[in-house]
Structure 1
Amino acid sequence: MTNELIGFLGIVALFVLLILRIPVAISMFVVGFGGVALLNSWNAAESLLASEAFTLASKQELVVVPLFILMGNIASETGMSRRLYDAAYAIMGQLRGGLASATIVGCGGFAALSGSSVASALTMGKVSLAEMDRFGYDSKLSTGAVAAGGTLGILIPPSTGFVIYAILAQESIGRLFVAGVLPGILLLALFVATITLMCTIWPALGPVGPRTTLSEKGRALAGALPILGVIVLTIGGIYSGIFSPVEAAAVGAGLVVVAALLERTLTAAMFWRACRDSVVTTATVMLILIAAHLINPFLALSRIPEVVGNFLAAVDLPALGVLTLILLSYLILGCFLEGFAMLVLTMPIYFPVILELGIDPVLFGVLVVLVLEMGLISPPVGVNVFIVKSVAPKVPLGTIFRGVLPFWAAMGVCLALLVAFPQIALILPNTMFN
């Protein structure tokens, strides 16, 4: 068999393992190790496994992963994330569809703490779905808003998706974090606009909520000030150059712990749960990254990236056409593959093509992460949809998928705007580093 055929069979085997629900990291370990052993030697595969695991685990920049995850977990355990929703609820709740818009804003705030889409959807679902149900919101709108709002966790920094992309593409984590700020705000605004438009056309979807006095708004906003201060300080510190991403993660995690202790909301049991969950999540991310560094040499030996690059060159499309094809392939893959698996599988194939076309790798990172978000609410996988289903078991799965469709369209609009106006993503990182 030729190297190319072995590479193709390896990719097919990886898809089969993922379809069989074998964990992503284990699937990539098996295919990567076996592929290198076939195309090179067993000793080479063993040596690569040992060296890559140690090299990757010793990268200092990866410290941001456990620290930001810990920050989000402590905020969730101590109720700080609930206060973000309460503040948005007090300010926007009296508008038609205001509770759903407040949920989107709350998801955005929690995303800036945890960097996790699943955690955002789960936490905001527990907090907001009962409230929207109490005020007569249509279940399509309420569950769709939670599922879509949770996807902001992978775009608004700090984002685990950006960290993984930065490691795979050897790009600056700080540049990618800052590049996600304006696209994240744009997507959040598009989600709120979608809710407003839907509730204007179909008023029964989102009835008017209870009015709050100015003093009640002030108290709710004051309750959220500590966590808002942490968000502004960490992201602002990265943008201004005061902190590196690693230092910002340490400062953010430390400040959340200090704030929780001062408020006397953090118990030893809560701290233990937050640390335990952070360790589990970090270990999962690290295993995926190490496995990805086994897949990359296998794909290089099989010459699959070169074959794909030659094919795209033979198609003779402009750079925008090739980029569109790549993003469309991500949209299709997102219907079947988990986001991180898709990222580590495709990056070695597509990234050389992107560099050859002269497309900014930071912009490409933002576009890819946005498309990964779309996969989180795309059938049949739609991880965030199933998370919301677990919080609202009485709502049919089909209802939730119908509820996310308008938000999926809003994400498509955001993607088109970023392709048409790349400076939305690039102006902040270019300003920061120039």
Structure 2
Amino acid sequence: MEIYHVVLITLGLLIALLCIRMPVALSLGLSGGIGLMLLRGTDYSSNTLGSVPFADTASFTLTIIPMFILMGMFAVRANIASNVFAVANYFARRAPGGLGVATVMACAGFSAVSGSSIGTAATVSRLAVNQMRASGFPSSLATGIVAIAGTLGVMIPPSTFLVLYAVLARESVAALLAAGIIPGLLSALSYIIYIMIAGQRRVRTELARRETNQDTDSDGEPLGAAVEEARRELEQKATNLRELPWRGLVHVVIIFLVVMGGMYSGIFTSTESAAVGALTALVILIIEKRRSGLRQIFTAFKDSLLDTAQSTSMVFFIIIGSGIFSAFLVTAGVTQSVTEWVTDLPLNPMLIMALLLLALIPLGMFLESMSILVLAVPLLYPIATELGFDGIWLGIMIVKLIEIGMVTPPVGIITFVIAGTSRVRSETVFKGVMPLLVMDLLVTAVLFLVPGITLFLPSLMN
């Protein structure tokens, strides 16, 4: 059988398995294993299936991932997000669309200690969506803001996506984490600009409409007891600086300085900084829960460990599946052939890179984000470096486009998380996300055309 026949059969099998909703990790591993068997026989495929899972996961650097996840789980249970949101809400209350601005600020702040977009979005959604709806935000705008701002968790360090990219591409973890700071802050600023201009107009229109209809908003979502309770919470908000829960902001700064400051000062290695960050978050959790008793502390600790184990298992399962499929692509010569074909195209390298990166957006509409990352890096990294692009810049661009895919229909996993936690229809969330996606695409275009923005902080490290 010709090699290209085997490649087509394997790709067809992968698509078929994904269509019947088999887990992505199993789809990748099974199709890659069958492809290796068709290509080289059972002996070669069995040896590869026996060695690849160990080889791809036996990396000391990968221990950063469970440590960052554990740090985020401790931070969630230490109520850091709610405290940061309260402080942000106080300072943004007089700005146009103040609650929306505060939500973006809270997501950005919590991303600095959570490392997870889904965790950030789910946590802030419970705090902010109903309060925004109670203050006049249409349901689509309120949920759309939380969904798009939640994606900051994969960009603002510590980020498990950036760590995984660094491992797959053999780039510096510290440089990747530093490179994510400015793009993450630029993204947050673009959301705030939209909220203060276009979002505020929608709030005024919504408030005028509610004078005649108190039962539903302009999106047809009911304004029930949860929104009424949120309205009462807004009336009880802190009215002076002394009443604010400053400890939440202090905790964010402490964790961020321990992780990033320890890493860049040379006190800790990247791996050690993640472990020390998790320990710091645990101490903060104990301090926050000390009045609740040992039972509550132990329960929070146990639940954090269980959630971390579940998330870590999912990540490593995907790494193993993608490793098997990548081994098939390398064995079949697909990676090398694609690299040679793309680099020989009579097109400008910037145009080639733009087309390849844009292909990640439709992938994000159907595949899980972590799977896109582990599939895209082995294919795009050799092409980008061959064309003369920086590997750190490429990592930020890939993660940024994956970030966009996390809220793009029809899959958009974060939008479904927001729909579930806020109890609104998923189509309402998608409706609110779309105009904010335009802001995200504009920021992505700027980062693509001006690589110096992304590479500024890593260059200072050098």
With the shorter chain as reference, the TM-score category is over 0.9
- 2:214 is matched with none
TM-score, normalising length: structure 2: 0.88
Q: Matched residues in 2 for 1:57 and 1:312: separation? A: 30
1:234 corresponds to 2:259: yes
- Which of 396, 410, 421 is matched with 1:391 structurally? 421
Cα distance change, pair 247–148 in 1 and its aligned pair in 2 (3 A): same
Deviation at 1:194, TM superposition (A): 1.4
Name the amino acid aligned to 2:447.
L
- 2:111 is matched with 111
Greater alpha carbon shift after TM alignment, 140-149 vs 78-87: 78-87
- Which of 328, 341, 344 is matched with 1:298 structurally? 328
Aligned 8 A contact 1:159 1:177 in 2: yes
Matched ranges for 1:147-162 at <5 A: 147-162=147-162
- 1:251 is matched with 276
- 1:321 is matched with 351
Greater alpha carbon shift after TM alignment, 290-299 vs 272-281: 290-299
Gaps of 5+ in 2: 208-230
Count of paired positions: 431
Name the amino acid aligned to 1:382.
G
Deviation at 1:253, TM superposition (A): 0.6
Aligned 8 A contact 2:361 2:401 in 1: yes
Deviation at 1:259, TM superposition (A): 1.8
Aligned 8 A contact 1:4 1:304 in 2: no
| SS, match of residue 244 in structure 2 | helix
Deviation at 1:182, TM superposition (A): 0.9
1:274 corresponds to 2:304: yes
- Which of 430, 434, 444 is matched with 1:401 structurally? 430
- 1:36 is matched with 36
Deviation at 1:421, TM superposition (A): 1.3
Q: Matched residues in 1 for 2:350 and 2:175: separation? A: 23
1:124 corresponds to 2:124: yes
Deviation at 1:214, TM superposition (A): 4.2
TM-score, normalising length: structure 1: 0.94
Deviation at 1:363, TM superposition (A): 0.3
Q: Matched residues in 1 for 2:61 and 2:206: separation? A: 44
- 2:241 is matched with 215
For residues 286-322 of structure 1, give each alpha carbon's deviation from its aligned partner in whole angstroms, at most 9, with x where no partner exists. Answer: 1111222211120012222233234323431111011
For residues 5-38 of structure 1, give each alpha carbon's deviation from its aligned partner in whole angstroms, at most 9, with x where no partner exists. Answer: 2123212321221222211111111011111122
- 1:420 is matched with 449
- 2:219 is matched with none
Aligned 8 A contact 2:166 2:172 in 1: yes
Cα distance change, pair 119–257 in 1 and its aligned pair in 2 (3 A): same
Name the amino acid aligned to 1:215.
L
Q: Matched residues in 1 for 2:86 and 2:46: separation? A: 53
Aligned 8 A contact 1:309 1:353 in 2: yes
Greater alpha carbon shift after TM alignment, 4-13 vs 30-39: 4-13
Q: Matched residues in 2 for 1:428 and 1:367: separation? A: 16
For residues 188-215 of structure 1, give each alpha carbon's deviation from its aligned partner in whole angstroms, at most 9, with x where no partner exists. Answer: 1111111112134434268798786442
| SS, match of residue 460 in structure 2 | helix
For residues 371-418 of structure 1, give each alpha carbon's deviation from its aligned partner in whole angstroms, at most 9, with x where no partner exists. Answer: 00000111111111111110122x232221110012211111111111
Q: Matched residues in 2 for 1:299 and 1:113: separation? A: 36
Deviation at 1:49, TM superposition (A): 2.3
Q: Matched residues in 2 for 1:163 and 1:11: separation? A: 28
Alpha-carbon RMSD: 2.0
- 1:369 is matched with 399
- 1:90 is matched with 90
Deviation at 1:173, TM superposition (A): 1.5
- 1:430 is matched with 459
| SS, match of residue 366 in structure 1 | helix
Between Structure 1 and Structure 2, whose CA radius of gyration is higher?
2
Deviation at 1:146, TM superposition (A): 0.7
Aligned 8 A contact 2:121 2:150 in 1: yes
Name the amino acid aligned to 1:385.
T
